[in-house]
């Protein structure tokens, strides 16, 4: 990766100093945190002349709506005191809004309309789009970022016509996808690839019935859903629709406020009715995916939104019984993507090879853990699984951290940073994690 020699904003340096003071005698934590915390700022941000900010993921030169939000999320903690930080975060939000208005079904975009990316996919591509895998979470993250930015900075200029237009598009999209089978025109196919990179039934995906939830073609891993109702993504939608309703009430946009609140409740009802089962060992648990016909998939994936991340996202409390039951299941071998090895134990993904644990999954496990002992164990995993690179990765082999995927993956670095900050008692203002830390 190319690290630009930028002057670090004082707000970010202040956060680093706070972490250094908390981990006073632990130089390995301090060094690793500084590397990872600054990685997004030093390697992925590009301020544009129009005031927006383009954010690459790291080793892929495109901007994902999901990744770009998660990459800069820890910087929100500095936004209220540092105008430079607030400016580039607001720039990310405005660019995300523009992208959604151009295509709400796309998950990743080019810096310019240059036709880079997957232009040969069987879907309605445009030169500005890098990839058009429709993922519910891609529309959740920008709402989350706008809400948390508003709460952190008090800058209510973000609650204006562009936000309302974007929200209107998102609401329309999610309502259409509540009845994907009859109403949706979205299709996606990709030739000569593994099955997880394309949708069956000529691009329509597996058949679904009405549940009140909204359909997703792909998971936050960018892998195809087995069944169209992805429970973690719908949980995230419930939360951000509540955020949107609050923002609209503040801006006196009553129609969108009512529509957002109503859709949030409709999706939540669907989750609780169709997205849970009574497990013979763990009791009532959430499933990962379902189709409304009674078929479901029991697993969890390290990418966020995940079932493990439900309280981190704000769908339920950290000690909610159904979540705790689900947590026990997915942190066991009853989750096919939970791995145990000589170096670590944690959640991986079908997106990467067998027995590869994800640093993102470890961060979520640490931030949703109730027991201090579990948090300390996760912190030690981070310190011993960086592959001697000084940065986090996508996945690493559970027995040998020197074997890893993606040595430049900014999302993982930011999630590690947020976990370390939580260990120091710091979290984004008005986030569920902040409320839990201050409970």
- Catalogue all structural domains in the chain, each as residue range(s) with its CATH number: 10-431 (1.50.10.10)
pLDDT band at 4 (very low <50, low <70, confident <90, very high): confident
Three-state DSSP state, 395: strand
For 95-115, what is each residue's pLDDT tens digit?
Answer: 999 999 999 999 999 999 999
Q: What is the DSSP letter of 5?
A: -
CA nearest neighbour of 117 among 33, 61, 189: 61
- Cβ distance 372 to 314 under 8 Å? no
Dihedral pair phi/psi, residue 279, rounded to 5°: -80, 140
Between CA 156 and CA 168 the distance in angstroms is 19
Average pLDDT over residues 121-135: 98
Cα–Cα distances (Å) from 127 to 106, 115, 416, in that order, read 12, 4, 34
Average pLDDT over residues 9-34: 96
Between CA 328 and CA 334 the distance in angstroms is 9
Instruction: Provide the mean pLDDT of the chain.
Output: 97
Dihedral pair phi/psi, residue 291, rounded to 5°: -120, 0
For 280, residues 6+ apart whose C-beta sits below 8 A from its C-beta are none
Three-state DSSP state, 346: strand
Q: Specify the pLDDT at position 429.
A: 96
Alpha helices in 44-135 (DSSP H): 65-72, 76-79, 83-102
- Cβ distance 421 to 55 under 8 Å? no
For 366-404, what is each residue's pLDDT tens digit?
Answer: 999 999 999 999 999 999 999 999 999 999 999 999 999
Q: Specify the pLDDT at position 2.
A: 78
Between CA 248 and CA 232 the distance in angstroms is 24
0.75 exceeded by pTM: yes
Cα–Cα distances (Å) from 382 to 37, 70, 141, 359, 412, in that order, read 14, 18, 25, 7, 11
Burial code of 110-132, b = ≥16 C-beta within 10 A, e = fewer?
bbeeeebbbeebebebeebbbbb
For 15-26, what is each residue's pLDDT tens digit?
Answer: 999 999 999 989
- Cβ distance 17 to 37 under 8 Å? no
Q: Is 361 left (phi over 0), alpha (psi -120 to 50) or beta?
A: alpha
Between CA 91 and CA 46 the distance in angstroms is 10
Q: Specify the pLDDT at position 25.
A: 85
The pairing of beta strand 338-340 with beta strand 296-297:
unpaired
Average pLDDT over residues 404-419: 97
Q: What is the DSSP letter of 431?
A: S
Alpha helices in 309-371 (DSSP H): 310-313, 321-330, 359-368
Between CA 375 and CA 422 the distance in angstroms is 10
Identify how many contiguous H helices and E strands the chain contains and give both numbers: 17, 15
Token duo for residue 360: 């993102």
- Cβ distance 105 to 111 under 8 Å? no
């Amino acid at each position: 990766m190319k690290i630009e020699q930028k002057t670090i904003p004082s707000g970010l340096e202040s956060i680093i100093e706070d972490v250094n003071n908390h981990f006073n005698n632990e130089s390995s934590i301090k060094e690793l945190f500084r590397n990872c915390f600054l990685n997004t700022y030093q390697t992925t941000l590009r301020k544009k002349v129009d005031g927006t900010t383009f954010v690459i993921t790291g080793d892929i030169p495109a901007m994902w709506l999901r990744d770009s939000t998660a990459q800069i999320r820890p910087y929100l903690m500095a936004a209220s005191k540092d105008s430079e930080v607030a400016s580039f975060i607001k720039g990310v939000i405005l660019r995300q809004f523009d992208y959604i208005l151009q295509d709400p079904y796309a998950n990743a975009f080019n810096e310019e309309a240059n036709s880079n990316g997957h232009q040969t996919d069987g879907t309605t591509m445009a030169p500005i789009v890098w990839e058009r895998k429709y993922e519910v979470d891609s529309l959740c993250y920008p709402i989350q970022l706008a809400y948390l930015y508003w709460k952190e900075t008090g800058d209510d200029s973000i609650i204006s016509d562009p936000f309302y237009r974007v929200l209107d598009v998102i609401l329309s999209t999610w309502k259409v996808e509540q009845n994907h089978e009859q109403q949706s025109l979205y299709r996606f196919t990709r030739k000569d690839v593994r099955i997880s990179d394309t949708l069956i039934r000529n691009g329509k995906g597996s058949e679904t019935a009405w549940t009140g939830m909204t359909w997703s073609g792909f998971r936050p891993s960018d892998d195809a859903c087995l069944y169209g109702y992805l429970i973690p993504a719908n949980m995230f939608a419930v939360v951000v629709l509540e955020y949107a309703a609050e923002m609209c009430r503040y801006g006196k946009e009553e129609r969108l406020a009512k529509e957002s609140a109503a859709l949030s409740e409709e999706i939540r009802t669907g989750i609780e009715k169709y997205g849970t089962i009574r497990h013979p060992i763990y009791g009532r648990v959430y499933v990962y995916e379902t189709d409304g016909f009674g078929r479901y998939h029991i697993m969890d994936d390290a990418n966020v939104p995940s079932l493990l991340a439900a309280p981190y996202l704000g769908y339920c409390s950290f000690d909610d019984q159904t979540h705790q039951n689900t947590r026990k299941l997915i942190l066991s071998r009853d989750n096919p993507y939970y791995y145990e090895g000589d170096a670590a134990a944690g959640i991986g993904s079908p997106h990467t090879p067998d027995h590869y644990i994800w640093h993102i999954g470890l961060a979520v496990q640490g931030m949703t853990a109730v027991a201090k002992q579990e948090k300390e164990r996760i912190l030690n995993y981070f310190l011993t699984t960086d592959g001697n690179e000084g940065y986090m990765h996508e996945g690493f082999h559970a027995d040998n951290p020197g074997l890893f995927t993606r040595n430049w993956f900014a999302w993982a670095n930011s999630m590690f940073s947020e976990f370390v900050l939580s260990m120091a008692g710091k979290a984004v203002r008005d986030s569920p994690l902040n409320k839990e830390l201050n409970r």
